[in-house]
């Protein structure tokens, strides 16, 4: 049985200091992967916060921690997650993409943005699993993102965890405007689903329903078909990593929502698994 690919909502950077329910789930996710499939040989990470005009692989031998945010407590900037890179895997991924007609560039540079390291510090807190960031191309359509993921599908059979990191809903203007209602400043990560905006709930439920139906046409056209799509994603870079992760799982596999919750009223924290191993991972978590 192959590793599933994953989409994880990373939420506020403050999850690193205030794990809440989402952090507790992520802390269970890594050991569940290991127990069910064995420790991944590497993580191929596609994050909303590392972008490029064309697919680019950060093939450094060692990645430092990038604190790509501002206005947070000093303690957050003191956290480190410096992980080994995966230069050999970068060549393998480049070959797979080129075989699918997708040109990709390798750079001997590194760095893990907060969409990667805040997640991985829960999954693999010892920073002992090599990481290969693949830059997100935000101008690529959801269907194009899915096709890129399909080109990476065979990695799951060789012990590579394909990980998309974004947010199932993401509108920071709403987060700011809702602060009095949800009861805390922007960086708090401990509000619950009881504070959720109905528009956020409607969008998250639509994604789950269309995923369960494997309605790829609707999911690719989410911008026009999902309720409150433009409100929940004024720009769609935080949802786009869902699609390569889904593509890596395959069109015939039903996406499974492993976890669902919301912080800060409208910042969805849902995690999805894709591929033939998704059901086994779901069972291991429950």
18-28: pLDDT as tens digits: 999 999 999 99
The residues, any chain, with a CB within 8 Å of residue 204's CB and separated by 6 or more, are: 168, 169, 260, 262, 268, 270
- Pairwise CA distance, residues 119 & 175, whole Å: 21
Structure confidence at residue 252 (pLDDT):
97
Calculate the average pLDDT of the chain.
Answer: 94
Provide the 3-class DSSP secondary structure of residue 57.
strand
pTM equals: 0.95
Q: Is the confidence at residue 33, as pLDDT, over 80?
A: yes
**Residue range 114-166, pLDDT digits in tens:** 999 999 999 999 999 999 999 999 999 999 999 999 999 999 999 999 999 99
Q: What is the pLDDT of residue 175?
A: 82
Residue 10 lies in a domain: yes
Q: Which of 52, 32, 252, 29 minimizes the C-alpha distance to 134?
A: 52
Band of residue 264 on the pLDDT scale cut at 50, 70, 90: confident
Q: Identify the burial level of 125 via C-beta atoms within 10 angstroms of its C-beta, where 0-12 means exposed, 13-18 middle and 19 or more buried.
A: exposed
Residue 107: closest CA among 63, 138, 76, 149: 63
Q: What is the dihedral of CA 154, 157, 158, 162, to 10 degrees?
A: 70
> What local confidence, expressed as pLDDT, does residue 196 receive?
93
Rounded distance between C-alpha atoms, residue 105 and residue 86, angstroms: 15
Whether 194 is covered by a domain: the verdict is no
214 within some domain? no
> What is the pLDDT averaged over residues 238-258?
98
262 three-state secondary structure = strand
Q: Does a structural domain hold residue 202?
A: no
* pLDDT(281) > 80: yes
Number of structural domains the chain divides into? 1
Q: What is the mean pLDDT of residues 208-214?
A: 98
pLDDT in tens, 167-197: 999 998 888 776 544 334 444 444 455 589 9
Residue % of the chain over a pLDDT of 70: 94
Asked if the structure places residue 26 within a domain, the reply is yes
Least confident among 38-42, 93-97, 176-180: 176-180
pLDDT per position as a tens digit, 233-247: 999 999 999 999 999
Q: Which residues span the domain enclosing 137? A: 5-168+242-261+268-285
How large is the average pLDDT for residues 88-109? 97
Q: H or E element: which one contains 21?
A: helix 20-37
- Stretch 33-59: mean pLDDT: 98
In a domain, 227, yes or no: no
pLDDT (0 to 100) of residue 189: 44
Tell me, yes or no, whether 236 lies in a domain.
no
CATH number (domain holding residue 9)? 3.40.830.10
């Amino acid at each position: 049985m192959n590793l599933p690919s994953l989409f994880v909502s990373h939420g506020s950077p403050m999850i690193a200091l205030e794990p809440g329910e989402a952090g507790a789930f992520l802390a269970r996710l890594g050991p569940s992967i290991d127990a069910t499939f064995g420790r991944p040989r590497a993580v191929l990470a596609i994050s909303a916060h590392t972008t490029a005009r064309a697919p680019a692989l950060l093939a450094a031998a060692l990645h430092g921690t990038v604190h790509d945010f501002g206005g947070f407590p000093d303690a957050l900037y003191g956290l480190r997650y410096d992980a080994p890179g995966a230069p050999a895997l970068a060549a393998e991924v480049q070959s797979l993409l080129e075989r699918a007609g997708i040109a990709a560039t390798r750079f001997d540079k590194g760095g893990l943005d907060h969409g990667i390291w805040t997640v991985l510090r829960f999954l693999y807190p010892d920073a002992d699993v090599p990481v290969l960031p693949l830059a997100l191309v935000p101008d690529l359509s959801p269907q194009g993102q899915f096709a890129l993921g399909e080109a990476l599908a065979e990695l799951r059979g060789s012990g590579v965890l394909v990980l998309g990191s974004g947010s199932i809903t993401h509108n920071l203007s709403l987060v700011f405007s809702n602060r009095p209602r949800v009861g805390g400043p922007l960086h708090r990560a401990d509000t619950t689903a009881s504070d959720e905006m109905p528009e956020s709930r409607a969008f998250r439920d639509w994604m789950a329903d269309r995923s369960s139906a494997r309605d790829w046409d609707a999911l690719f056209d989410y911008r026009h078909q999902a309720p409150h799509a433009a409100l929940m994603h004024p720009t769609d870079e935080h949802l786009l990593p869902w699609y390569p992760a889904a593509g890596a799982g395959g069109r015939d596999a039903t996406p499974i929502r492993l976890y669902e919750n919301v912080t800060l009223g409208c910042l969805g924290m849902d995690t999805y698994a894709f591929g033939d191993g998704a059901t086994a991972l779901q069972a291991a978590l429950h």
